[in-house]
Amino acid sequence: MPHATSPGDWRIALVGYGEVGRILAEDLRAQGVAVRAWDIKLADDGAPARAMRAHAEANGVVLADSHVGAVSGAQLVVSAVTASQTLEVARACAPGLARGAWFLDFNSASPGAKRAAAEVVDGAGGRYVEGAVMTSVPPHRIRVPLLLGGAHAASLAPPLRELGFAAEFCSERIGVASATKMCRSIMIKGLEAMVIEAYTTARAYGVEEAVLASLAETFPGIDWEKQGAYFFSRVIQHGRRRAEEVREVAQTVREAGLEPWSADGTARRQDWVADLADNGLFGDRAAPRTDWRIEADRILAAIREPKT
C-alpha cells in the first residue's frame, strides 16, 4: 500500500470511538485526514451511540456499520477498544484489511494478547504494530507518549510523527512496548486504588490531615491533596475500563511467572468504585472533582447504610 505523502492523502480507520477514539478523530480531522470509525456500541440506539453519532457529525467523521466496513480501504487502522477486546477486534477487522495496511494496536493488553493479535493481522496481510500509550491521553491528546513495537514499528514511526503522534520506536519484538506499559500500570493504577482506599479509611477515622502531612514529608515532590482529587476523579469516571486494563496487567505478571497479588487487588478496587458509580453514588461521572473528601464521604455513607 503506498505511503501517504500529506495528511490529506491519509485514510484512517478508528475502531473504538470512546474517549480516546474521539480525541484522535478530532486531531486528525483538524489536519484534513479522512477518518472512518466503528464502535460496537453503534449497533444499538442507546445514549453512548447517540453521543458518538453527534460527535462524528460535528467533526466530519464517517461512521461505518461494522469492523470490516470501517477498515476497508484504510491505510492505517487504530484499534482503541477496551483491553479485553484486543484480540477479538483484530479478528473482526482482519477480513477487511487491505494488503499492507498498518494496524496500530493502542490497547492496554498483555504481551501475550498482543502477540496473538499480531499473528491474526499479519496473517491477513496487514502490518501489525503494538502501541503502548504511556500516560493519560486527554492532557496530551494525539501527542500522548507512544511506544511502538514489532517488525513494522520502525517504518510506521516517521509517518505517525508527521501526523502529530509522539511515537517512538521501542523494539522489533512484539511485547516489549506493552510490557513497559503494563509494568508502569502496576504502579499507577495501583496507586489510584491505594489512594482511594487509604484516603477513605483515613477519613473514616478522622486522621486524614495527619496522613496527608506524613505523605508530604516522605514524598515532598507530590501534592497529595491535588493528587487525591485527581485519582478519585479518574477512577470514578473510568474505573471499569481501568479494572479491565489491570486484569491485563495481572495476566502480564502471570506471563512472567509471578502471582499478581497487587494487580488483582487493584482490579477489584477499581471495579468496586465503578459499581458505586454505576449506581449513581457520585452523580455525573464526568463532573470535575476538586475535593476528594466529598467522594470519600459518599463512599462511607454508602457502606454504612443498613442492609435490608
- The torsion of the CA quartet 122, 126, 130, 133, rounded to 10 degrees, works out to -160
Nearest alpha carbon to residue 106 among 135, 131, 75: 131
Residue 66: the pLDDT is: 97
pLDDT tens per residue across span 181-212: 999 999 999 999 999 999 999 999 999 999 99
Integer Cα distance of 6 and 261 in angstroms: 48
Residue 307 pLDDT level (bands cut at 50, 70, 90): low
Residue 8: the pLDDT is: 80
Residue 308: the pLDDT is: 52
The mean pLDDT value for 110-137 works out to: 96
The mean pLDDT value for 230-255 works out to: 95
Helix (H) or strand (E) holding 130: strand 127-133
Buried/exposed code over 32-47 (b: 16+ C-beta within 10 A; e: otherwise)? ebbbbbbbbbbeeeee
**Domains of the chain (ranges, CATH numbers):** 7-173 (3.40.50.720), 178-304 (1.10.1040.10)
Residue 231: the pLDDT is: 97
> What is the crossing angle of helices 292-304 and 224-255, to 10°?
60
Residue 7: the pLDDT is: 78
Q: Note the Cα 144 to chain centre separation in Å.
A: 12
Pairing of strands 166-171, 145-149: parallel
Percent of the chain with pLDDT over 70: 98
Integer Cα distance of 298 and 229 in angstroms: 14
Residue 5: the pLDDT is: 63
Confidence (pTM): 0.85
Helices in the chain by DSSP H: which ranges? Answer: 19-29, 47-59, 67-71, 86-93, 111-123, 137-140, 153-162, 176-205, 208-218, 224-255, 261-278, 292-304
Answer for the pair 74, 12: CB distance below 8 angstroms, yes or no: yes
Answer for the pair 239, 274: CB distance below 8 angstroms, yes or no: yes
Residue 182: the pLDDT is: 95
The mean pLDDT value for 112-121 works out to: 97
Go through the chain and tell me how many residues it has. 308
